Structure 1
Amino acid sequence: MTRLRIWWDSLLYTLWFVPALMVVGAAALAVVLIIASGHVDDEVLARWPRLFGADAGSSRDMLATIAGSIITVAGVTFSITMITVTQASAQYTPRILRNFMRDRPSQVTLGGLAGVFTYCLVVLRTIRGGDESLFVPALAVLTGFILAVVSVGLLIYFVHHTASSLQASSIIDRVVKDTYGAIDRLFPSEVGDAAAVDAVPAAAHLLDTYTWLPVTSSSSGYVQAIDPDALLDAASERNIVIRVERTIGQFVIEGGALASIATRDGTPTDPRPAGIRSAFTVGNFRTVEQDPDYGIHQLSDIAVKALSPSINDPTTALSCIDYLAAALSRAAALRSESPWRVRDGELRVIVHGPTFRSLLDRAFDEIRRYGEGNAAVLHRLLDALERLERRTGDPGRRRHLLMHVELVTEAAGRALPAPGDRGGVSVRAAALRSVLT
């Protein structure tokens, strides 16, 4: 099921799939209306001569004009889309390009315009007049006119949407929503059940005596997804333990170990790993669907790019910090997932997923390094840490928050030239430190 979902998502992340469906739909609509026009009584059409009274010549001229105009507009629309993608990549981060490729209004606009063009061509070739047996598919011709008017509205909406989608707030919001979804199904929560805490030490000691055999990757790339059901089924059917070596978001080289397998009693196991290897989806880029770390990374990249001297847009960086705090607060509300996963009371899979600590480091480390000379950025980082402090009572997580408070304080003392700025950060940090300790 996970592999099917990845395949479906990969189609939706293309600029051709939705437009192709709309072109096929437009051609089918044209055929249906042409057939329907041949079965409609001429007397019925004669009741509305202003709608259905066009002759063969005027119908041809109108549809040809619509087709020529629409294909020109489609070319302009495609150019606007490419310019938008290029500008977003240069101004924010190349890692958001897939979000623009998936942009549904852009896909629908391209598909709608290409579909109207195809529709007009299909209808145009069926019109006969002059010495030929006269045939004018009146319903299809009228529908072509209506579709042309709809295309004008679609173009106006597309221009408005493009201008809106280039705003930093829109880009950040899109990334955050994807990250929320990944956090809500934080891996490996979908892999069976968590092992009982008191059973982990004994199992860990026992597994040290096992002989582990590697399951290697057939290609190089990033682990985009892991199918939890396939992994558990393979472990249960063969009565083995699977230890995932390269988890979601990590890079694996061809021939490198994706996982290791061992039997529960320590005896050698069947070395054929095909069923286990198929549980891993490896591609040439990371995806956010099961990888919240990548969503956090995108927001951090946007903030770092905004802080660069060439962009110099600290407001965007501050907005990214706010949304990073919102995403991390969502992660803070979740319990830590055990890497020890069981099915029917038996240990089957050992797999590590992203933790609150790793996500916190990913979110704030680079922003702090590149923004340490900006007092507003350091204050906003402390604001974010203060909000996260209210969301978690876990001692380990609170210690990690305290570590980040100390890092912000050190950055202020090292990089802020004004004593007042350094003092302001120190006062805020001291207040937060007293709450965390």
Structure 2
Amino acid sequence: MVGRFRWVWRLLHRSLWYRATLFSLGGVLTALVAWLASPWLDVPSAVSIGARSVDSILNIIASSMLAVTTFSLSAMVTAYGSATSNVSPRATLLLIEDRITQNTLATFIGAFLFSLVGIIALAAGVYDEDGRTLLFAATIVVIVLVVYQLIKWAGYLTRLGRVRDTIAKVERAASDALQSRIENPYLGGQAMPAHSRPELHPVRAGEVGYVQHIDMPLLDSLATNEREAIYVQVLPGKFVDSGVVLATSGETSDERTRKIRTAFTIGPSRRFEQDPRFGIIVLAEVASKALSPGINDPGTAIDVIGCGVRVLTPWMRHAADGIDEAEQPAAHVFVEPLSTADVFDDFFTPIARDGASTVEIGIRLQKALSALAAVGDERSKRLVNDHRELLLKRFDQGLTLEDDRQRVRRAASD
């Protein structure tokens, strides 16, 4: 179970300004340490060789880091625009949270501030001879870090924002979210009972947006016994309005209702962490955009179908093995499981609709369904057969050549 504090901390940890601020503070403190520590250090004169050149070195770092940072920001904006146009606007969130990009920019900004503070301190005359030597040593370390990040950044820029790299990020996010749901099929709670008590009181959303996160530890603290049991009615990713019921509970009071409502974080957009369906939807969006007449790139759509099979295969195996009914932390919080039928609809329906006139897409979709059926149970195979029949109907109408229709049918029968 992930509480709200840990979830917000993870969001903060992925933000660019957080890393840039930490690295900037590190750069400023590094420049000041040479001044603060010099009274207690006795640096040998042999080590101080080259310390007189620290002024010019810091000037070079300050000017070059400002230019490199500006260029890097421009490259980031270009990559975001490319991902929005060629992949999906929803995928740009993963580019914004990319750790390599954030570390590189934060290093450049930190080095710039380090050199700026060093130049100001040297001009003010706050360093003695030992302090200048320590500053020179710190400058050498900063140069090594900057060169390392520059080399890594030069290689990373060649694929940042490219279609394949962005698809890989979406696939990884979808796989991680689905694996997290496999490990916690009820978000750390219990399976929803078939029949709930009739005297339950609803807790309504009170606002409009998407459920981004559910604070299960908070709900667990509010449901300490059977009489206080909480039945969660929505999953992360659900769009709610002010009248939608978020949860129901037997015990009721204004304060308890407010606390239960507080456990549900509602925002203007969906996020990948607790919402496996969102990653699947974004993958399908990438394939649909590739199949649009303006782009006409069925190869990318075929690539995405392969990604979908990789993402869904562990879930199909999990469904075939049965959901783990082991004891979960929240004993009196009940949650609906993720529906395999919804996941299939999220992925296969948009691609089949937009690719119904392309025989290669029909064949590859049928092969994808066969691959998933091979690792599923009988219920999953029935779901696969339903989608197989629906695909045949779509491609019968979309394909104009009878030979192409027969090729899709043969792929379905195989």
- TM-score normalised by length of structure 2: 0.89
Aligned to 1:35: 36
Residues of 1 paired with 2:383 and 2:42: CA distance?
A: 78
Equivalent in the alignment of 1:88: 83
Between 327-336 and 111-120, the greater mean CA deviation after superposition: 327-336
C-alpha displacement of 1:262 = 2.4
Residues 186 and 335 of structure 2 are in contact (CA less than 8 Å); yes or no, is this contact kept in structure 1? no
Partner of 1:293: 277
The alpha-carbon deviation at position 48 of structure 1 amounts to: 4.3
**Residue matched to 1:20:** 21
- Aligned counterpart, 2:211: 223
Give the alignment partner of residue 234 of structure 1, picking from 199, 222, 226. 222
Distance of 2:117 and 2:309 partners within structure 1: 54
For residues 27 and 343 of structure 1, do their structure 2 counterparts lie closer, same or farther at Cα, with a shift above 3 Å needed? Answer: closer
Q: Distance in 2 between matches of 1:369 and 1:396?
A: 24
The equivalent residue for 2:253 is: 270
Question: By how many angstroms is 1:418 displaced?
Answer: 2.0
Partner residue, 1:189: 186
> Cα–Cα, structure 1 residues 255 and 405, in superposed 2: closer, same or farther, change >3 Å?
closer
Aligned runs of 1:285-364 on 2, under 5 Å? 285-335=269-319, 348-364=332-348
Say if 1:135 and 1:233 are closer, same or farther in 2 by CA, change over 3 A. Answer: closer
**1:99 maps to which residue?**
94
**Separation in 2, partners of 1:342, 1:212:** 24
CA contact (8 A) 1:416 1:422 kept: yes
1:109-163 per-position Cα deviation (integer Å, ceiling 9, x unaligned): 1111111111112222222699x98776122124324423542442342132122
8 Å Cα contact 1:127/1:136 also seen in 2:
no
User: Structure 1 pair 102/218, CA: closer, same or farther in 2 (3 Å)?
Assistant: same
* Runs of at least 5 residues in structure 1 that lack an aligned partner in the other structure: 264-268, 432-437
Alignment of 1:377-396 (within 5 A): 377-393=361-377, 395-396=378-379
Q: Which residue of 2 aligns with 1:266?
A: none
Question: In structure 1, what is the equivalent of residue 116 of structure 2?
Answer: 121
Q: Aligned with 1:190: secondary structure? A: coil
Larger RCO, structure (CA 8 Å, separation 6 or more): 2
SS at match of 1:312: coil
CA displacement at 1:218 relative to structure 2: 4.3
3-state DSSP of counterpart to 1:47: coil
State whether residues 296 and 359 of structure 1, in contact with CA within 8 Å, keep that contact through their aligned partners in structure 2.
yes
1:249 and 2:249 aligned: no
Structure 2 gap ranges (5+):
none
Correspondence 1:401 to 2:402: no
RMSD: 2.8
Q: CA deviation at 1:384?
A: 0.6
Distance 1:10 1:218, change over 3 A: farther
1:224 match: secondary structure: strand
Deviation at 1:343, TM superposition (A): 7.8
Report sequence identity in percent.
28
Partner-residue secondary structure (3-state), 1:16? helix
**Closer, same or farther in 2 for the Cα pair 1:40/1:233, shift >3 Å?**
closer
Q: Distance in 2 between matches of 1:218 and 1:32?
A: 52
Pair member with larger Rg: 1
1:361 Cα deviation (Å)? 1.2
- CA contact 1:37–1:138 (8 Å) conserved in 2: no
Q: Contact 1:34 / 1:123 at 8 angstroms: preserved in 2? A: no
Residue 365 of structure 1 aligns to a residue whose secondary structure is helix
> How many residues are paired up?
408
Q: Find 2:138's aligned residue among 140, 143, 152.
A: 143
| Counterpart residue type for residue 19 of structure 1 | A
Counterpart contact for 1:215–1:276, Cα < 8 Å? yes
Confirm or deny: 8 A CA contact 1:109 1:154 kept in the other structure.
Answer: yes
1:414 offset after TM fit, Å?
A: 1.0
**SS at 2:380's partner residue?**
helix
